[in-house]
Structures are given as C-alpha cells and as structure tokens.
C-alpha cells in the first residue's frame, strides 16, 4: 500500500500530472490504478461537501450516487486496456453496472432528484443534530467521506476482476449475471409501481383523498403489487444486486468446485455488507417518518407485510398477537 499512498499524494498535489501519466496508468502496476480510484474518491467527497455548503442541500452525494460506481468500474476496466486486454468478465461487470446506473439515474431524475431539492431525511437529522460543529463533522465524515468510501467499496468485485484478468469465464459468472439481472428487474418493477401510484395519488386533490375508492390513495402509500409482499422491495433488490456482483469475485478463483481456499476472494463483499448496514438505518428512519405521517394505517401495514424480504402477507389475525 506504500506505492498507493505515495501515488495518491502525488496526484492530489499535482492533479494535472494525471494527464501526462495516462500511458503509465493504462499499462502500469495495479497500485497506480488503485491510487487513481482513491484520488477520484477524494475529489467526489470534496465536491459533495463544497456543494452542500454552497447550496445548503445535503443531497449532493445522492445526486452522485448512481454515477460514481460506474466511474470506478469503468476505470478498473480500461486501466489495463493494453496490459493485458480487459477480460470478458470485466466487460460483463461494466455492462451490469451500466444497467444499474442508467436505471437509477433515470428514476432519480424523473422524481426531481437533480432539481436541488433535499431528501426529506436530511432535515430530520439536522433537527436531531442541532450543534453546528457536530453537524459539520457529520456532514464531512458520514455524508461526504463515508458514503463515497462505501460507493468505492461496492466496486471491489471489479477490482478483483482487474487483478484476475487472465481467468476465463465460468459457470459462476453466469449465476452472478443471472442473479444481478433478476434483482435489477425486481427493482425496476417496484420503482415503476411506486412511480405510477404516486402520480395517481397526487392527481387526486388532497381534500378528496379521504373519500377515494382506492384504499391506497386514501391511506397515502402503496400496498399492492410487489409492495404486498415487502414494504420496500426496491431496497431489497438494490442490496441483492450488489451481493450478486460479489459472485464475480468467486468466479475469479473458481476451478470447478467450491473450496475453502477460494472463500478469501469474497473479501470484496465488504462493500455490500456496508450497504446493507446503511439500509438498516435508512429503512428504520424512513419507516419512522412514514408511521408518523400515515398513522395506524401504516402500522397495520407493517404488522402484515415483511420489511424487506418478499414474503406472503401475514394474516390480519396476527394483529392482536
């Protein structure tokens, strides 16, 4: 890691040198490629913090969330374009992450995410952290630095494929691809269902919603489709896509059978593990605010419907238990 640290500091001190060092990074040793990724992380985090101060909105990382992993994976794919050529596995991973990025960017944009509006959870947290100094530390440490670190960690399977470019495709790659695409479809369907419901709900004047024949419109939240089996099917699918991507790390060392010596290759799951931990807190806060907004109707929904993993709805009789 010494070479990584030195290269990272050199790039941070003289960013224009990155242009003249292009041929080195496309043919050179892996520490330099990793140094570029770490340098990009610092640039993204710094940009998010500066923009949050300028605009007063702390959703800067949210606006970068769907793009930065694609940048990292693309870099890990082309960084060795001449030494050696990227493997088929690297191109597959890049294609899957591009699918994820395009879908998430589109969904975020159509909801007005790039309009500058702040996610409703940040104002809530600001009301809990009233000390300006502590909020600044939280903004720098968690919102900007940690979340960008997490986004880089999600891309470690692409780094593993970069380090094992000579390993041919195998059955594990097929399983990883199929699982990723399956959960991509689930998240797409869930977001479409939520999008159409929200449009239909907001088309009804607030004064008329209480008498609307659709129970979901009356209550204000969706309980049909995939949301009948999970309160957050999109959250579930998002996490499972990144867990699926880690199967490519196993594919990098696969020799036809699963052996204990191959399991260390799954260290790359540290990113998916952090994402799942983050979703635990994020989902808890989302549900806390939803229960406060929608009252007993939402609490009844919580009692009968699984939180994340899609499961058959529980019977109403369990309400009294």
Token code pair at residue 201: 């709900």
Q: Are residues 1 and 101 in the same domain?
A: yes
For the chain, state the CA radius of gyration. 22
Q: Are residues 72 and 201 in the same domain?
A: no
Q: Are residues 192 and 313 in the same domain?
A: yes
125-142: average pLDDT: 91
Indicate the pTM of the whole model.
0.85
Task: Give per-residue pLDDT as tens, 147-182.
Answer: 999 999 999 999 999 989 889 999 999 999 999 999
Token code pair at residue 277: 């931990």
Token code pair at residue 113: 């995410």
Q: Are residues 147 and 222 in the same domain?
A: no
**What total number of domains does the chain contain?**
2
Q: How far apart are CA 141 and CA 190, in angstroms?
A: 32
Q: Are residues 267 and 138 in the same domain?
A: no
Taking 90 as the threshold, does the pLDDT of residue 31 lie above it?
no
Q: What is the pLDDT of residue 116?
A: 77
Q: How confident is the model at residue 14 (pLDDT cuts 50, 70, 90)?
A: low
Q: How confident is the model at residue 94 (pLDDT cuts 50, 70, 90)?
A: very high
DSSP secondary structure, 118-174, as one string: PPTHHHHHHHH---HHHHHHHIIIIIIIIHHHHHHHTTHHHHHHHHTTTSPP-HHHH
Q: How far apart are CA 2 and CA 109, in angstroms?
A: 40
Q: What is the pLDDT of residue 317?
A: 53
Task: Report residue 273: phi and psi, to 5°.
Answer: -65, -45
Domain that holds residue 267: 170-321
Q: Are residues 139 and 178 in the same domain?
A: no
Q: How far apart are CA 155 and CA 20, in angstroms?
A: 26
Q: Are residues 154 and 10 in the same domain?
A: yes
Query: Are 148 and 71 contacting, i.e. CB atoms less than 8 angstroms apart?
Result: no
């Amino acid at each position: 890691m010494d070479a990584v640290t030195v290269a990272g500091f050199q790039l941070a001190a003289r960013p224009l040198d990155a242009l003249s060092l292009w041929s080195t990074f496309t043919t050179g040793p892996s520490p330099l490629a990793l140094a570029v990724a770490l340098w990009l992380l610092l640039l993204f985090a710094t940009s998010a913090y500066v923009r949050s101060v300028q605009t007063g909105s702390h959703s800067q990382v949210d606006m970068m969330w769907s793009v930065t992993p694609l940048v990292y994976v693309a870099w890990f794919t082309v960084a060795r374009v001449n030494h050696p050529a990227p493997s088929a596995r690297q191109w597959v991973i890049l294609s899957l992450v591009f699918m994820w990025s395009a879908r998430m960017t589109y969904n975020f944009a159509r909801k007005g995410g790039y309009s500058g509006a702040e996610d409703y959870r940040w104002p809530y947290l600001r009301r809990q952290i009233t000390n300006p100094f502590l909020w600044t530390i939280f903004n720098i440490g968690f919102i900007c630095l940690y979340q960008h670190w997490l986004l880089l960690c999600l891309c470690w399977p692409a780094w593993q494929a970069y380090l094992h470019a000579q390993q041919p495709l195998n059955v594990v790659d097929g399983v990883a691809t199929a699982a990723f695409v399956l959960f991509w479809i689930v998240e797409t369907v869930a977001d479409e269902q939520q999008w159409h419901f929200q449009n239909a709900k907001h088309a009804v004047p607030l004064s008329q919603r209480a008498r609307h024949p659709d129970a979901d419109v009356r209550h204000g939240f969706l309980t049909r489709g995939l949301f009948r089996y999970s309160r957050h099917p999109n959250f579930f699918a998002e996490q499972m896509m990144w867990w699926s991507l880690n199967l490519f790390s196993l594919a990098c060392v696969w020799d036809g059978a699963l052996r204990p010596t191959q399991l260390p290759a799954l260290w790359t799951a540290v990113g998916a593990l952090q994402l799942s931990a983050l979703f635990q807190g994020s989902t808890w806060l989302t549900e806390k605010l939803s229960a406060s907004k929608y009252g007993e109707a939402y609490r009844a929904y919580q009692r009968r419907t699984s939180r994340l993993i899609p499961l058959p709805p529980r019977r109403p009789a369990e309400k009294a238990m």
